[in-house]
Amino acid sequence: MEYQRLPNETQKKTAELCLKSGADLIVDAHPHVVQPYEWKTVTMEDGREHKGLIAYSLGNFISAQRLEYKDVGTIFKLTLHKGESGEASIESAEMIPTYVHFYRQSGKRHYVIYPVPQTLAKLQSGETYPSLTKDAIAYMRRLEKVLAVHVRTAVSKKKAS
């Protein structure tokens, strides 16, 4: 559902159905806000357990939408492994928060995507970004803390069946 920071029951049931059908990775983006991701194990029809990764929403990577987490997205970083038998698997996943900074210059609108942790680290080491205001930097600092917890929010309380 749009603008909801947690997945709804329909999203969760649809993702579980996809996993039970053999999907290893499910990535969504429609809600316009970042929602958590989770590893989930399901029991398939033949009784085997299958583990997959669900990213319920990556948010807005680039958007003119502002505030209430609509000016935030994520880069979904995956580490993949291909075994000797040719079978591929997902080894790890990380959501890197991004901030869509908007400013006007010479009568034109400009949008810049800033990967939050890397940008804050560069600011800390003395790099400057002339278009970033003190308020925007403070917002990114808050985003870094809030989203680190939010993307790991427990979505499912129990193992899927």
DSSP 8-state assignment for residue 47: S
In the chain, how many domains are there?
1
How far is Cα 80 from Cα 89, in angstroms, rounded to an integer?
6
* 126 vs 83: CA distance, rounded Å: 43
**pLDDT tens digit string along 108-142?**
999 999 999 999 999 999 999 999 999 999 999 99
Q: For residue 86, give the DSSP letter.
A: S
Token pair 């958590």 is at which residue?
36
Report if residue 64 sits inside a domain. yes
Q: Tell me if 76 is assigned to some domain.
A: yes
Alpha-helix residue ranges (DSSP H) falling in the chain: 9-20, 116-124, 134-150
Phi, psi of 23 (to 5 degrees): -65, 140
Model pTM? 0.85
Structural domain containing residue 54:
9-150
